[in-house]
Each structure stands twice: as C-alpha cells, then as structure tokens.
A and B are shown apart, each in its own frame.
Chain A
Amino acid sequence: MIEIRPQIRSALADSQLQKNLRLTLSKTAAGRRQAIAEVANWEELRQHARQVKAHTISRLGEYLELLEKNVIAQGGNVVWAETGPDALDFIFQLALEKGIRKVVKSKSMLGEEIRLNEELERNGIEPIETDLGEYIVQLGHEHPSHIVFPALHKSKEQVSALFADKLGMPPTDDCEKITATARKVLRRHFLSARMGITGVNFGVAETGTIVVVENEGNARLSVSVPEIHVAIMGLEKVIPRAEDLGVFLKLLTRNATAQKISTYVNLINGKRRPGELDGPSEFYLVLLDNGRTRILADEFLRQTLYCIRCGACLDVCPVYQTIGGHAYHSTYQGPIGAILTPQLLSAEDAPEHPFASSLCGACQEICPVKIEIPHILLKLREKVQDQKSARAGRLPLERWGLQAWSWIMTSPGRYATTNRLARGFAKMFARKGRNPVPPLSYWTKSRELPVLAPKTFRELFEEEERKS
C-alpha cells in the first residue's frame, strides 16, 4: 500500500520545493491560455479527440491487431506483454542475445511505470536517459515529478550543483551552459549506443506508424543512431486513422507546452529500408497491458485511458501546485495520477490517491479529451470506502448516527422538532461565530459558524400563508 500523507507533509515543509514550484508553474499558465485562445474551434477539437478515443477504446482489440499487421508488413516485430515483467523479460533477452550493455532511452512514462531503468541496471545493462529533464532526474537518483517536465522540482542552482558533482562541470547559473554540458555528454552516449528505447504517443493502426512527440531531438537520435529500436507502448495509445493526428497534436502540444506544434514529431514506420543510408536494422514494438484491460472493464472508469499525457491537469491543480509531484509517490502525478494510480494498481494499494484532490474541477476543464476526473475521483473514493467497510464493518458510531438520521428524516414532525432543538443548541453555544465548547470549538478554530437567521424557512412560510 502506498501512503502519501507523510510525503505530502514533508513537501509542504520543504521551502526550496515550494519556491521552485511557484516559480515554474507560474510560467506555464499564461502561455497555455493564449495558445488555447488562438484556436477558434478548441471545443470542437476536444470533442473530436474524445470521440475518436471513445470509439477506439471500445474496439481496442481490432485496432491493435491492425496496427500489428501493418508494423509486421514493414518488417517490424510486435511483442505483446501482459505485465511489466513480461515486457522487461523480452527486453533483457533481446539485449542478451545481441550483447548489448548500454541503452539510450528517450522519455517514456510507461518505462517509469515498469521501472525499466532499475530493472535494466539490475541486469547489467546501463540505461541512459537522454531527455534533459529525465537525465537530471536520473543523475540525482530520483523519479520524475511531472509528466512533461520531469525535473520541474529542481532549481537551476540545484541542477548546476548536481552536474558539478556528477559530471565535473564548473558551477554556473546559466541554463545554456548546463544544457551544453548535457549535450556533450549525451552525444557521446548516443554515438556508442546500439539500442534505443522510446515511448510512444500514438500508434496509427491504418499505417503502422509510431508517433513520438518531442522538442529536444533525443527521441530522433534514439531512433536514428542505434542499430535496434524498441518502442514501448501502452495498449490505449493506438488510434485508427492518420488524419486525426493533426487534431491530437494540436491539443497535445498547446496544452503541454503552449506550442503550436512540438519541434519534432517523429513518424516511424519500422526499420531501415533497402537503399536508405542508415537507421536501425531491427524494430520492435512492445504492446503492454499492465492493468489496462482491467481498467477497460468499467464502462465509466475506462475514460481514464483516453489520456494523452499532456500534463496540463497537473499544472492547473491547486493540490499539485502545493505539494509537487513526488508527494504522490507514484509514476503519474496530479489529478491524472490520482485516478490512474489506484486503477493501475488497485484501490487497496493506493487508497489515499483519490482523496488528494479538492474536486475543484480545473483538471476536467483543461483536459484535451475531457476526462471527467472529479467524477472518477468520487467513484474511486466510493470504492475505497466500500472496501474499508467490507473489511472492518461500519464503525458503531457511524452506524448509530445514520440510523438516527434516517429516523428523523422520515417524519415531518420529527424533522421539525429536531430543527427547533438544534436552533436552541446553536443559540446557546455559538458566540460570534465561534463555539466555545469542545469538541465543537476545534471545528470553529479556523472556521466561522454562520449566524442563524432570526426565523426559519418554515416559520416564514407559515406567516406568508396566514397573510394571504
């Protein structure tokens, strides 16, 4: 079971983290608002994308088989994996067979999900994260704190100190110098790596195209330099048609980074073909379930799988803004993490995640595929609560309370009497919005008890009736 309360407490007490979060998150909001406002039919695009996802998810098997067929027709290989360990086993076997000791990786949330780096290392293969943010996180032996900006929790001074320590870079607060150092170090790794592993943003069924969206060029290098390219993809990433890519890219990049389009959109159709001068001689697509078919089983909750990982719900979430990503202690953070984590694992394994939200609804409002996150949170809370009750039975006090409540509410006379009594109590104990008597005084320490109106609704109603 993942407990997140202790992490949340320490995140709140970490003043450096609070400063870093405020600084970076404030930079996103205005840009995104403008990027979205520029698109006249933004709503239509969201609706379109949601409909495509809804259709695909309800016919997932067919589209995955079509994708498979088209990838194989291009000389690629498709590997199905039911669990994380299944996928990892395949990768280890492949690496062993080819004598591979080092892998260049471009960003993959799925890789994080199955702990790819740790497992590669355990098997004697060196994984090199090549996305700058991921590389920073890897050097610091941390995990990403944001879906799109993995090192968002770190200030440039902290990154500089890390590079000075691990790479011998002279300390600097110049982001360009820090980045240049990373380019130099990582370029060496690229040129000597024989296997590249990437994630997948979209898998286009009708063409067998794997789409990888990025800005740095590290995914581009990962699929160009090494002799073997392995793409790992969650089952839900398949889309039927290429013509919808324009819509998805627009939604994804404007929401993620306020860009009209990302710098590179890699469109990969298998391995190097005859006559092409370079490129991988082998291509593998790993289709990973890892709990996704279980999520699909619930007709309401399955929309969780529409997510295209833009990360916007994290940025707009007042809870994420306050506690950052690490406090969630899971692969996916923020609102999407709060609904995805308990479903990928189980409500029992992550019982606190659905409660890490104020249900303000900002996440659903920004979501490019309109996932009803607050409703899903409520559903998941219900599940957690049901399981608790099933385990322990309802607490006696709760049971008596509910019985008394239903006894009162089922009779108008009892209801009116209770109201009168409650008003009497309130007048006796409430002083200027405070209640001086424990245990109620604890509750009014930070809240005001509203002052009661001089007359109740029922009294007013009776008066009006008498007048007319």
Chain B
Amino acid sequence: MSRPIILEKLRRLHQAEEAPSLPSRVPDFPRYPDPVEQFKIELERVSGVFLDGRNPELVRQALERVLNDAKAGEIYWESEDLFARHGIPSQLRDPEAFRRGQLVSSSHPLRQVRLPLTLNSHQYSRQTLAELTVSASSAACGIAETGTILESTAPGVGRLLPVLAPIHVAFLRRQDLFMNAADFFSRVSLGDRASYQVLVTGPSRTADIEKTLVLGVHGPQKHYVILTN
C-alpha cells in the first residue's frame, strides 16, 4: 500500500525542479610508488599481520608461522581453487581431503606442515564451524591505500567460515592489489558474481567502552594476509 503513496509524494515534489547534476568525476585518491609496501604499512597499523608468500617456500613458512601463533594443527578452507590460484605447493596439503569432502583432523607435528582441509563446509552445522580455530580464504582483491582485502562468496564458498573462526588467513595475489578505494569501486562491479562481499581491514575491533580499543569482539581477533604472486 505504501509504495504508490510514497512514490506519488516524491513525484509531486520533484516535478517542477531542476535537479543539481551528479559530479562528473570522483576526486583524486592517493597513489603510491610501492603499493605492496603501502598495503603492509596500513595493515600493520590496524594490527593485521602481513606475510610474504611470493614463492612456495615463503608460503610454507607463512603457514607455519600462523599455525605456531595459533598453537593449532589445522587450517580450514572451502575452495580448492585456492591452491592453483595462489601456487600453494602440493606437499603442503592432503590431496585426498578435498575428494573425501569431510573435516579431517591431523596430528602432524608442526615441522612438517600438512594442511587438512574441508571442502563442503555446508555439510557441517554452524556449531561445528564455530569450533574451528583457523580459517583461510582467497581474497578477491585488495586495496593498498588502506591495507584492505575483499572477501567474496562464490560457488563453493560461503559467508560463515572466515568470520566465525577466531583466526583468519587471507591469501592475496600481488596482481589483485588496487591502488586505492576509488580504483576499487570504479573497476569492481558489486554483486556481479557474489551475493556477499566484504571489505576487511584488520581484525575485528570495538571501542564501545570508554573508547578503549579491544580486538576480536565478534569477528576474528587475528588477521593475517599472505601476499602471493
């Protein structure tokens, strides 16, 4: 009932008026000689951790660091695409896990990192997902200006895993790094391929009590970004 009433009111109001035009161009946003360095500085400024993963050995070290920090034995992710996309060496993972499509627990000593995986996390209840410690995902892109990554749903990728786990690792390819927010919003068409995208900058935070900063209120408390080639 309300729709025609509201629209009619708005039509009557606007009929006689000349609309001020939309500005033709977006004001300049900063550009950086070294976008990776800028990304790292900004990420660290908001208590995120930047890890270089620009060759397979560096990826291994980065993942080992995450597991060591977390005192965890597993990292969970949803999409197999991640391996090819980020050049993750096959010896770092359990090649059978995706095929089995189940949660795998491992007792591998941390020195020989193997990464048990889950493929179809929707088979598992929210409660099961909520008990996982470390989640990983592939960032669709990043923004150097603010140290931001874009998480995105996709076929085989949902909304829950990266936000429920207290520790999150995002893989970001160097070539997917935008200079600034204006570049991002003018080149990425929102919602084209995903029902949900979220720009993430550092770990979850609040300052709701006396404006005192506390990390990890609802989302992850630790936020890693591994930059790959």
Contact = CB atoms under 8 A, between A and B. Distances in A.
Interface of A: 20, 23-24, 27-28, 41, 44-45, 48, 51-52, 54-55, 58-61, 64-65, 74, 80-83, 86, 130-133, 136, 149-152, 154-156, 159, 175-176, 178-179, 182-183, 186-187, 190-191, 204, 207-209, 215-218, 220-221, 223-225, 235, 240-247, 249-250, 257, 259-279, 287, 289, 293, 296-297
Contact of B22 (A154, A159, A240, A273): A240
A132 B26 contact: no
Contacts of A262: 201
18 contacts: A61-B11, A83-B2, A86-B2, A132-B208, A175-B214, A179-B214, A215-B206, A217-B220, A224-B158, A225-B160, A264-B198, A264-B204, A265-B198, A268-B195, A269-B195, A276-B153, A276-B155, A277-B161
Contact of B191 (A132, A250, A270): A270
Nearest to B125: A191
B14 A44 contact: no
Given A80-B2, A207-B189, A293-B13, 7 more contacts: A60-B14, A74-B191, A149-B211, A179-B214, A246-B26, A269-B197, A276-B157
B6 A136 contact: no
A293 B9 CA distance: 7
Given A151-B209, A179-B206, A271-B195, A216 B126 contact: no
Contacts of B88: none
Given A183-B218, A270-B195, A207 B190 contact: yes
Interface residues of B, number: 78
Contacts of A182: 217
B13 A297 contact: yes
Contacts of A45: 27
Contact of A246 (B5, B159, B184, B214): B184
Interface of B: 1-3, 5-7, 9-11, 13-14, 17, 19-23, 26-29, 42, 46, 78, 120-122, 126-127, 130, 145-146, 148, 153-161, 163-164, 180-182, 184-186, 189-191, 194-212, 214, 216-220
Nearest to A215: B205
Contacts of B159: 220, 223-224, 272, 276, 278-279
Contacts of B156: 275, 277
Nearest to B195: A273
Contact of B210 (A23, A81, A246): A23
Contacts of A235: 6
A106 to B, nearest CB: 9
A293 to B, nearest CB: 4
B77 to A, nearest CB: 11
B7 A65 contact: yes
B191 A207 contact: yes
A277 B157 contact: yes
Contacts of B157: 276-277
Contacts of A275: 154-156
Contact of A28 (B21, B206, B211, B218): B211
B119 to A, nearest CB: 10
Contacts of A64: 6-7, 10
Contacts of B11: 61
Given A132-B209, A224-B196, A278 B158 contact: yes
Contact of A263 (B10, B182, B219): B219
Contacts of B5: 82
A175 B216 CA distance: 12
A420 B76 CA distance: 90
Nearest to A279: B159
Contact of B217 (A51, A86, A179): A179
Contact of B126 (A191, A242, A268): A191
